[in-house]
Amino acid sequence: MVNDMNKYMFSIIVLMLLLLVTSCSKISNPLGSDNPPDSQTSISPSGIEYVGDYTFYGKDGSLETGKLIKDDKGHIKLLPDRSASSYSNWWFDISVNYLNPRYYTPDGIPVYYLGDEAKYQIALDYKRGFPLNLYPILYAKMQTDQVYYPSLVHLPGQSIKIYDPLLIAPYGYVEINDSYNIPPGMIPGSHATLVSVMIEVLEGRFEFLIASGVGGMWDTTVPE
């Protein structure tokens, strides 16, 4: 009888210890193992503001959905859904074609004389089906920068051009012609044309870069 009583008391103590351990576990993890944290809760620290949703269809058949969020500095960022397919290709394929060089180097780099008007054409292939004139993205703008290479210091004169707005349809392709007057006293050498595309959202209050890079290389030399 005493042994049965001891076994009974031992069982009660073990049960109480199990209940205590379980209780402590739930306090340290209120959601419990069967309730994983919501994705927005786990990636939305203090200062992050929800702006809107987006859906992008790629020419390669990929699909990305997600949310636009604003950080504590006012920057708008894309936050893909965890269940969406993710891809790293640019929104745009961008290239620069130099139209009137004096000649080409053996490596195929176009060469201009100091004092020339360098004419070029920017080709933009938009690889998304998302209109750039619908909420939350109002429109896009493009900027070209003529710079020394590899320092990326701006060339003198009108070396910065801004195309605001950039008019292009979903899955669209455009060619934009422009030129740069090369100052006669400029230091000759290697140069690059940088092309950047930005989108503006929420009535012009925020903008962020979606594509940027070297669109093309060119050289200058002193006239013969």
Shared domain for 178 and 211, answered yes or no, is yes
Q: What is the pLDDT of residue 182?
A: 97
Q: Does 85 reside within a domain?
A: no
Question: What's the CA dihedral at 148, 141, 109, 158 to 10 degrees?
Answer: -50
Q: Which domain holds residue 97?
A: 92-221
For residues 76 and 125, give the distance between their C-alpha atoms in angstroms, rounded to a whole number. Answer: 24
Shared domain for 126 and 172, answered yes or no, is yes
pLDDT tens for the chain, residues 1 to 224: 545 555 555 555 544 544 443 433 332 222 122 222 232 323 334 467 777 776 666 555 666 677 777 767 666 666 666 545 433 346 888 889 999 999 998 888 899 999 999 999 999 889 888 888 777 777 889 999 999 988 889 999 999 999 988 989 989 999 999 999 999 999 999 999 988 888 887 655 667 778 788 888 999 999 87
Shared domain for 112 and 182, answered yes or no, is yes
- Beta carbons within 8 Å of 52's beta carbon, 6+ residues apart: 67, 68, 135, 136
Q: Does 97 reside within a domain?
A: yes
Q: Does 86 reside within a domain?
A: no
Shared domain for 55 and 127, answered yes or no, is no
Q: What is the pLDDT of residue 41?
A: 28
Q: Does 87 reside within a domain?
A: no
* Residue corresponding to tokens 């740069």: 180
Tell me how many domains the chain contains.
3
Q: What predicted TM-score, i.e. pTM, was given to this entire model? A: 0.64
Shared domain for 98 and 161, answered yes or no, is yes
Shared domain for 27 and 45, answered yes or no, is no
Rg (CA), the chain: 29
3-state helix, strand, coil in the chain (%, to 5): 15, 45, 40
Phi, psi angles (nearest 5°) of residue 30: -60, -30
Shared domain for 104 and 215, answered yes or no, is yes
How many Cβ atoms from other residues are within 10 Å of residue 214's Cβ?
15
For residues 14 and 222, give the distance between their C-alpha atoms in angstroms, rounded to a whole number. Answer: 92
Shared domain for 200 and 158, answered yes or no, is yes
Shared domain for 105 and 195, answered yes or no, is yes
